[in-house]
Structure 1
Amino acid sequence: MEVLLKEADIVLNGSRPWDPQIHSNEFWTRLYGQGTLGLGEAYMDGIWDVEDMAEFFNKVLSSKVPEGIRATPNLIWQVVQARVLNMQNIARSRRVADMHYSETEAYKASLDARMTGSCGYWPDGVTNIDQAQEAKLDLVCRKIGVKPGQLVWDIGCGWGAFMGFAAEKYGARCVGVTVSPDQAAYGRERYKHLPIEFRVQDYREFGGKTDHVVSMGMFEHVGHKNYRAYFEKARSVIKDDGLFMMHTIGSQWSTETIEAWLEKYIFPGGVIPSIAQVGRAIDGLFTVIDLHNIGPHYDRTLCAWCENFERNWKKDRTPEEERFYRLWKYYLLCCAGGFRAKVLQVWQFVLSTRGVPDGYVTQR
């Protein structure tokens, strides 16, 4: 392992910001016994530290180091479950709300003023996370051509950032679905003066007709067994001249599960889709009229979230609170490293049921 780390320009207990500091030999027991799950839990327990975690993971993921970490029993069981069971059926989908989106206070400490829980957009002139999320929300509205009075369905609406922006800036009416009662309660109170409706329900339970559909940071929770059902639902509710903007994290590999630590602590049942998987799922349902990769913008977004979190989170912490603090930092910065290493992408698809008769004007 040390040879692989050296090839990745990483030195154990070295002096550079991305060199990890190992505090106990238990680190190796965790790593070799549990793989990446053990690596993350060892960090949560204070067994190792690194000053620049995002760059550490960038170097690890850009190298051959992952090849030196063998498959562990928990990973094998995770893959078997993903293949045999539908880990994201309607009943199991509630786990995401229980384990991830109930951490409202951590998100308030991390996110922008609108509580936008997906990748920001950092064009020239944008210097902070609030501006980056406003730029992203405006980009989405322009991509689907929102007009005053139109109804937009938001699949996985979160705390309502897109719906609030679209209603305020473009005069849209919006209805969003979330499996998190906490998110819906927050959004209903914040946007009670706007034509916005929050529904606590699975996307498969939604009905009606809508002018456009958007979905940001939701498809990663759908699961490979449900990709087709997700797009069929969107196709059944969108009007013939409507557009569907789907924003998702993406991978160059087709997989059926997610990294073990993220699956256990952050995204239960999560899967990062590939272009091939999306293509098969939309076959015969939608035409791709635009595809935009904004993956590098998520590195900057996650680092900005972590800066907010460290600045805003409580400084005096109990041992249990310290473990959560380290969990949250690990989540944000290991993901930032993944985007920096280009093993993760962010795709914005603009989909149409029959193409755009007068031609589509690309928005950037």
Structure 2
Amino acid sequence: MSASRAILSDLLAEAGVAVNGNDPWDIRVQDERLFHDILLRKNLGLGEGYMRGWWNCERVDEFICRVLKTGAENRVRDSWRLIVKALPALVCNLQSLSRARIVAQRHYDLGNDLFQGFLDPHLQYSCAYYKGMNGCPEDQTDEEVSRDLERAQEAKMRLICDKLELEPGDRVLDIGCGWGGLAKFMAEERGCSVVGVNISKQQIAFGRRFCAGLPVEIRETDYRRLDETFDKIVSVGMFEHVGPKNYPAFMRTVDRCLKPDGLFLLHTIGSNTSGPGLDPWIATYIFPNGCLPSIAEVSKAAEKHFVMEDLHNFGPYYDRTLMSWLRNFRHAWPSLRDKYGDRFKRMWEYYLQSCAGAFRARDIQLWQFVFSPIGRQQPECRWG
């Protein structure tokens, strides 16, 4: 047995994971180079090894959860290669105006057919709200998974509307509006007019068709260029792409665009600790230049502009959301295979399962913040 294999086997054993074992969360290694690569490049080596077929696992989500819960990954010494890779995030503004479109081009513009294949009919690419809903994807049929995902995403959008105290006639700004699903919901369900801003060409084109005939305008523009007033402002699943160097600019933009009696809801994945970057594999293959904010970073950026009225963590629901997306993706894969290929399938399945495992281990969170302008009367909190 190689020294690299021995070291990693011992660490995995602490997490209850065996190499070539029989439990669903055990890893089956097809290429011994995996062990040295993980020691050298940690999470990046682990994810790339899966993409290459160097290892397999029946339940990647549970494998990741077990490893994260024990902190085994933190006992693998950092590689100088990863340190060098992280330096640009520390020194440069990776989410500047000139670089902001990179994630749109490499992720959100992959193809609307891909996202329609695994998301709900409202195309909500963020955590669903499963409160009061029983069941788990492993025990459900494909139809039940899709039905419950749609209901939970509608519950999430309804919760957002309630937290914003939306009223007919409100003019709402949706920063990072995706395919327009939330804008459409707010217009149809609450009688609002909505301006959505986005920089993904494929999302914009789809969103304009999706919201046709409604008081919804979807613009291709960066949030930093906005300078007009709105009754309410919402941002769902976009703040992860803003970056720490731009958090103050983001909050200044919301401040100048929000009416004095308005409300602002921020829905974002978050990190338990402050720091640069994202999981190196996710940052390389899924969300380039992404960064998960901590509560401290969000509150620091907001403190000169807003009062925090509410902070709601429903991160555990992201586990179920991601596993539902995985089921939908696998169900849709036969229609996607020719365009995307088998390497992409392994990459996307690893992405969904590793994120589900991270939420299950409480390594990352999902937060909804509600902010009001300083001096505004406290909202009624009718959602509580």
Task: Name the TM tier (shorter chain).
Answer: over 0.9
Question: CA 1:316–1:123 in structure 2 vs 1: closer, same or farther (change >3 Å)?
Answer: closer
SS in 1 for 2:95: coil
Residue type at the aligned position of 1:77: V
Percentage identity across aligned positions? 42
Matching residue of 2:77: 70
Choose from 182, 192, 202 the match for 1:182.
202
Choose from 226, 234, 243 the match for 1:223.
243
Q: Distance in 2 between matches of 1:69 and 1:179?
A: 38
Matching residue of 2:332: 312
CA contact (8 A) 1:126 1:132 kept: no
Runs of 4+ in 1 over 6 A off after TM superposition: none
1:332 aligns with 2:352: yes
Matching residue of 1:10: 17
1:271 aligns with 2:291: yes
What is the Cα deviation at residue 105 of structure 1? 2.3
Q: Encode CA deviations 1:129-169: one digit per residue, 9 max, x unaligned.
A: 10010000000000001111111101111001110100110
CA contact (8 A) 1:54 1:336 kept: yes
Choose from 153, 157, 161 the match for 2:181.
161
Q: Distance in 1 between matches of 2:285 and 2:254?
A: 29
CA contact (8 A) 2:195 2:216 kept: yes
Q: Distance in 1 between matches of 2:294 and 2:337?
A: 40
What is the Cα deviation at residue 284 of structure 1? 1.4
Using the size of structure 2 for normalisation, the TM-score is 0.92
1:115 aligns with 2:135: no
Q: Distance in 2 between matches of 1:14 and 1:23?
A: 13
1:90 aligns with 2:97: yes
Q: Distance in 2 between matches of 1:16 and 1:227?
A: 43
What is the Cα deviation at residue 126 of structure 1? 6.6
Q: Distance in 2 between matches of 1:2 and 1:361?
A: 50
The alignment's C-alpha RMSD in Å is: 1.6
CA contact (8 A) 1:148 1:171 kept: yes
Q: Encode CA deviations 1:12-68: one digit per residue, 9 max, x unaligned.
A: 111111111111102113212322111111111111111111111110100131123
SS in 1 for 2:98: helix
CA contact (8 A) 1:289 1:360 kept: no
Q: Distance in 1 between matches of 2:335 and 2:188?
A: 36
The answer for unaligned runs of 5 or more in structure 2 is 1-7, 136-147
Matching residue of 1:287: 307
CA contact (8 A) 1:212 1:243 kept: yes
The answer for unaligned runs of 5 or more in structure 1 is none
Residue type at the aligned position of 2:31: S
Using the size of structure 1 for normalisation, the TM-score is 0.96
How many residues align? The count is 364
Q: Residues 340-351 of structure 1: matches in 2 within 5 Å?
A: 340-351=360-371
Q: Distance in 2 between matches of 1:201 and 1:338?
A: 32
